[in-house]
Amino acid sequence: MFELIISKYLGYCFGVSRAMKTLFDTISTQHNGSVYTYGPIIHNRRITDQLEQRGVAVIEQIDQAEPGSLVFIRTHGVSDSVKDQLCDKGVSYVDLTCPYVQKIHQIARQCSHLIIAGDIDHPEVQGIVGDAAGNCDVVRSLAELKELLHTPPFFLRTLVVQTTFQMEEWMDMKKYVLSFRKTASDWTDSEGLAVSPVTVCDTICSSTYDRQREVKQMAETCDFIVIVGDKHSSNTKKLYELASARCEACFIEDFTELPHNLGRYKKIGLSAGASTPDSTIEEVINNMNENNVTTMSDEDFDFAQALETSLQVTRVGQRKTGVVSVIGSNEVQLELGGKHTGFIPLSEFSEEELSQLKVGDEIDAFVMKVSDSEGTALMSKKKLDSIKGFEKIEAAKESGEILSGKVAEVVKGGLVVYVNSVRVFIPASQSSLRRDTDLEAMRGQDVRLRIIEVENGKRRRVIGSIRSVLKEERDASQAEVWANIEEGKVYTGVVKSLASFGAFVDIGGVDGLVHISDLSWSKLKHPSEVLAEGQTVEVVVKSFDPETHKISLSYKKDADNPWLLLKEKYQVGDVIPVKVLKLMTYGAFVSVVPGIDGLVHISQIANHRVEKVSDALKVGQEVNAKIIEINYETQKISLSIKAALEENEDLSSADDETAGVTE
């Protein structure tokens, strides 16, 4: 068993996160032609493979891009000449260059003598060199810098640094340059040697600085360090170099490369490069946690500090109010009232919020990262919304308040609903009143819930219950039904289930039974001939028992009663057309009107003696019959085909007699 210390600085840095979101949003919605990235968008093979599967190819030369295609410029950036060549070829491009790298390009365009502390083979450095207005030199170490600055002629130079450069090497370079002194005739270093004067621009990425600093600190207290990232990633390599110089360490690309003997260490640190996807990091952590790990992470952060405010100083963990000064294509810029300018990624705003946002608006946000040298602060609106939301969640837990949210995910064992920007887990048993509820069908639904548990520790896990609210509403509805129910009352209900003997209908939290005989005036073989589950219907209360909680309902309507229709349409003595439905030994049943059958006794089938009913009639045969009796009390009708025949014969005879009369 070992303790796992997880770095607070994991996953994509601000620049990479912004680039990846812009790229995936664009290819999903805006472009149908060929799509490329100029070089790998970031140094991570998993991401490159994902993009390739979506039809985004990597090119290294401009002539590989087809006219009319779209090219994404990687976060490392390129020179202006590359952009010009793309335009000349009729290729559109989206510039995903990291803002920190863009700043170095701006400096390079204004300097006549530039020095870059970095790797000449790195694409970021190559792009900066391409934009340099004058002479440009690249140095990898303090020794190379000294050699360059000691070489005449001596003139003012500007020193910048690759954003992912090794922090300790850069700090040594800065310390050396800042020791220069101006004499009467020239500049000298700390050893008294003549040098070129240097203006230092600290352009190393704050994310790089934070990660390297934390890895260095972890390596001094841990027995082993795990660094996660692509082997081609410069910033990840430097994390590994820092860690391995101080303790045992491994550099892995995914969880499959984890050493098998981690159990021999007491404390293990974990960090990752700025181009490592969250999914990869999560897989590594989950795999390590399977070994009974006690985990500490950035969720151990003291949220009381997060609520501290300050108008003068900007520090990580503060809640700050800023005024919107610029609404850009990728971020919103805030004036914080001090020496720092705040930036919030545009992805943290909803479409509705962006449509209403304007310059001059005030925004509360949480300070995530601060770069004093750059004068910038990365802010998070979502983080602060989450903190405020958690306060409301805790209050709702105490008061029992009913909250609303939308089902965002269906996960193993339940649902995830976001309430006030806080993740709330709804166990399957608390998702509905019914155990067989299809959770997937609830995805995207707006639901009402009550908070039943808040784990206010490291994890800050929140558990809610939809069932609690539904049960409360059902109980109240049931009480109202039983308080006001009466025979003859009409309810609008929903068919809950069908059985061979009838249908159960919910009339407001209470189920009543509509017997199959009360579904239709016609005879039914099964209730499904009339109703379907989920159907909204109007029913009438026939009877009810408050003690047994049983309710008898009727679906058939009096207006559809065929006996009323019969009374309006026919009377005894009428000769009507009928259809033979069934043959019996004693007679035949015929249809009179829909829903009413009548009997023609064997003695009334013909005007001669009939031995067998089947000798005179067949099922489906249509004949005329005379109504000789209607009993509305017993709901029985007697008819006579014989009488109809005799009446017809009488009419024929009368016609014949009339035909023989002459004037």
CA gap 386, 423 in Å, rounded: 9
pLDDT category at 291 given cuts 50, 70, 90 is: low
- Token pair for 383: 């983080």
Between CA 195 and CA 152 the distance in angstroms is 8
> Could you tell me which residues come within 8 angstroms of residue 209 by beta carbon, excluding any fewer than 6 positions away?
167, 371
pTM: predicted TM-score of the whole model, two decimal places: 0.43
* Residue 254 DSSP symbol: S
Are 407 and 444 contacting, i.e. CB atoms less than 8 angstroms apart? yes
124 a catalytic residue: yes
Query: What average pLDDT does this structure show over 371-375?
Result: 71
Residues 6+ apart with CB under 8 A from 241: 166
Q: Which domains does the chain have, with CATH numbers?
A: 100-204 (3.40.1010.20), 209-298 (3.40.1010.20), 303-384 (2.40.50.140), 400-471 (2.40.50.140), 485-560 (2.40.50.140), 562-654 (2.40.50.140)
- 646: number of Cβ within 10 Å: 13
Residue 586 confidence (pLDDT): 93
pLDDT 10s digits, 566-614: 888 899 999 999 999 999 999 999 998 888 889 999 999 998 888 899 9
- C-alpha pair distances (Å), 108 with each of 86, 155, 256, 376: 21, 16, 42, 20
pLDDT in tens, 319-343: 888 888 888 878 898 888 767 788 9
**Closest by Cα among 409, 427, 431 to 418:** 409
Confidence at residue 661, expressed as pLDDT on a 0 to 100 scale: 46
507 in Cβ contact with 486 (< 8 Å)? no
Residue 657 has pLDDT above 60, yes or no: no
> Considering only 40-54, 84-98, 128-142, 414-428, which range has the smallest mean pLDDT?
40-54
Which has the higher per-residue pLDDT, 639 or 458? 639
DSSP 379-398: EEHHHHHHHHHHHHHHHHHH
CA distance 101 to 164: 10
> 298 is written with which tokens?
């950035």
pLDDT at residue 293, rounded to an integer: 46
Burial (Cβ within 10 Å: 0-12, 13-18, ≥19) of residue 601: middle
pLDDT value, residue 309: 36
* Residue 513 CB neighbours (<10 A): 17
Q: What angle do CA 198, 199, 203 make, to 5 degrees?
A: 125
What pLDDT is stored for residue 311 in this prediction? 36
Question: Pick the catalytic residue: 3, 52, 124, 455?
Answer: 124
Mean pLDDT of the chain: 85
Lowest mean pLDDT segment, chosen from 35-44, 121-130, 218-227, 505-514? 35-44
List strand residue ranges (DSSP E) for 508-574, in order.
Answer: 511-515, 536-545, 550-554
Question: Is the CB of residue 440 less than 8 Å from the CB of residue 370?
Answer: no
Q: Residue 588 and residue 605: Cα distance in Å, rounded?
A: 8
Question: Residue 523: phi, psi to the nearest 5?
Answer: -75, 135
What proportion of the chain, given as a percentage, has pLDDT over 90?
Answer: 36
Work out whether strand 402-411 and strand 446-455 pair parallel, antiparallel, or are unpaired. antiparallel
Distance CA 173, CA 179 (A): 10
Using the predicted structure, report yes or no on whether residue 307 has a pLDDT greater than 70.
Answer: no
Q: Is 347 or 340 the better-scoring residue by pLDDT?
A: 347
Indicate the angle between helix axes 234-244 and 206-221, nearest 10 degrees: 20
- Residue 127, judged by CB atoms within 10 A of its CB (0-12, 13-18, 19+), counts as buried
Average pLDDT over residues 288-308: 48
Least confident window among 90-94, 244-248, 271-275, 302-306: 302-306
Encode pLDDT of 421-451 as tens digits.
788 999 998 988 887 788 888 999 999 999 9
Which residues are CB-neighbours of 32 under 8 A, at least 6 positions away? Answer: none
Closest CA to 529 of 561, 502, 565: 502
Is residue 651 pLDDT above 70, yes or no? no
Please give the average per-residue pLDDT across 163-186, as a whole number.
87
As a whole number, mean pLDDT of residues 140-153 equals: 93
**CA-based nearest residue to 111, from 155, 53, 167:** 155
Six-digit token string for 172:
């040594």
Sign for the CA dihedral angle at 353, 359, 364, 367 comes to: positive
Beta bridge partners of 269: 5, 225
Interval 115-127 mean pLDDT: 93
Q: Give the number of C-alpha atoms closer than 13 A to the C-alpha of residue 354, restricted to the C-beta side.
A: 14
Mean pLDDT of 25-50: 78
Residue range 484-504, pLDDT digits in tens: 889 889 999 999 999 999 999
Q: Count Cβ atoms within 10 A of the Cβ of residue 178 and give its class: 0-12 exposed, 13-18 middle, 19 or more buried.
A: exposed
Long-range contacts of 639-646 (CB under 8 A, 24+ apart): 639/578, 639/590, 639/592, 639/598, 639/599, 639/600, 639/604, 640/600, 640/601, 640/604, 641/600, 641/604, 641/605, 641/606, 642/603, 642/604, 642/605, 642/606, 642/607, 643/604, 644/575, 645/606, 645/607, 646/607
Q: Which of 330, 328, 327, 302 is nearest to 316 (CA)?
A: 302
- The pLDDT of 291-309, averaged and rounded, is 43
The arithmetic mean of pLDDT across residues 531-560, rounded, is 88
**Among candidate residues 175, 176, 201, the one with its CA nearest the CA of residue 101:** 201
Per the CB < 8 A criterion, the answer to whether 520 and 506 are in contact is: no
Mean pLDDT score, 273-279: 84
Establish whether the linkage from the previous residue to 427 is cis, with ω within 30° of 0: no
